[in-house]
Amino acid sequence: MLYIHRAICISPQQTFGEINIQNLKESVDKLHAIEPKYEGIPPSLLRRMGKAVRIGVGAALPLVKEGPVPDGIIIGTANGGMEDCIKFLNQIIDYEEGLLTPGNFVQSTANAIASQIALMSANKNYNITHVHRGLAFENAVIDATMFARENPNNKYLLGGVDEISAYNYNIDFLDGAYKKQSQPSATLYQSDSPGSIAGEASAMFLVSGKKEKAATAISAIHITQTDNVTELKDQFKNFLEKNINADQQIDLFISGENGDNRLLKYYDASEQILPDKTTVIRFKHMSGEFPTASAFALWLAFNLINKNEVPPHAVKKPGASKAFKKILIYNNYKGLQHSFILVTGT
């Protein structure tokens, strides 16, 4: 059991500071994160940071500056500071390996987010970045869970961050990951066509193995890699049988459905296994599609358990439950990498 004490998110919606997810902030083709005023970051540092580092540090600092220094910083990201990496590589060519900008080099690696958080909070404890494409955040969760079991009194900063970089966007667009036609986020699920819309976000969580003062917990997680629907259904059934008692049920199912008609079969297969009275909601019209989108879904689950206010625009199928104590997140990245995360109230 991994207990979540606090959570902060910077995303394309109003999720930072005064939270308001009832009103959807719409966009077309790309859902860019709404960046706040980074009051805790000195301007001299801020102007040298790439966007992934900015939103990662911006969401993390409010958590690490209140209370004791975390006993570890565990981040999941697929691309990290990819945009700065490309800028640095281009400089090598442009300046013929002459005088290069050190800032782009420093911010260009995947672990730049975790390292910058550590430097700014004087944290010399465990520091790691998991880079596993669509399962990067899930591997970070598993890492944090193992630490929490061994050291339940310790607290850890857990997070998932990815940005829309021009380089990665162009590659994924050519690979068919995004819609070829212009697509408003509000009508994402009505488009019967391949591809989704790009997104970005940073979600940070203060976690531990101790229940005290925690309203939410990750009670189970499962990851798999397959493109076989039958195999996925079998693993989903086994996950439910293992983690949900016969007298219990899932109150809310958070689906990672992203408007890509090629992937709809996986989400439909999962929903068919759930009882009819389970509430089903979707979130990628809010966040867009990116490798660590499950981090945004976890923040959403944390928020829903604490407030029980489901945004009307997110509901796919209303259910019987009014108070959500067991929430199941299912995310799928490019039809190959799948994850189930069971979130419960404490």
Q: What is the pLDDT of residues 257-312, one digit of tens each?
A: 999 999 999 999 999 999 888 999 999 999 999 999 999 999 999 999 988 889 99
| pTM score of the predicted model | 0.93
Judged by phi (left if over 0) then psi (alpha if -120 to 50, else beta), residue 114 lies in alpha
What was the pLDDT predicted at 104?
Answer: 62
Tokens read off for 110:
């995947």
What was the pLDDT predicted at 49?
Answer: 85
Q: What is the pLDDT of residues 4-34, one digit of tens each?
A: 999 999 999 999 989 999 999 999 999 999 9
DSSP conformation letters of 289-331: B-TTHHHHHHHHHHHHHHH----GGGEEE--S-SS-SEEEEEE
Contact between residue 133 and residue 51 where contact means Cβ atoms under 8 Å apart: no
Contact between residue 162 and residue 290 where contact means Cβ atoms under 8 Å apart: yes
Distance from C-alpha of 20 to C-alpha of 282, rounded to nearest angstrom:
17
What was the pLDDT predicted at 54?
Answer: 93
Collapsing DSSP states into helix, strand and coil, what is residue 248?
A: coil
What was the pLDDT predicted at 45?
Answer: 86
Q: Residues of the chain whose pLDDT is less than 70?
A: 80-84, 87-88, 95-96, 99-109
Fold of 2-208: Peroxisomal Thiolase; Chain A, domain 1 (3.40.47)
CATH superfamily of the 216-345 domain: Thiolase/Chalcone synthase (3.40.47.10)
Contacts of 307 (CB under 8 A, 6+ apart): none
Residue spans of the domains in the chain: they are 2-208, 216-345
**Fold agreement (2-208, 216-345):** yes
What was the pLDDT predicted at 103?
Answer: 62
Distance from C-alpha of 68 to C-alpha of 240, rounded to nearest angstrom:
36
What radius of gyration do the chain's Cα atoms show?
19
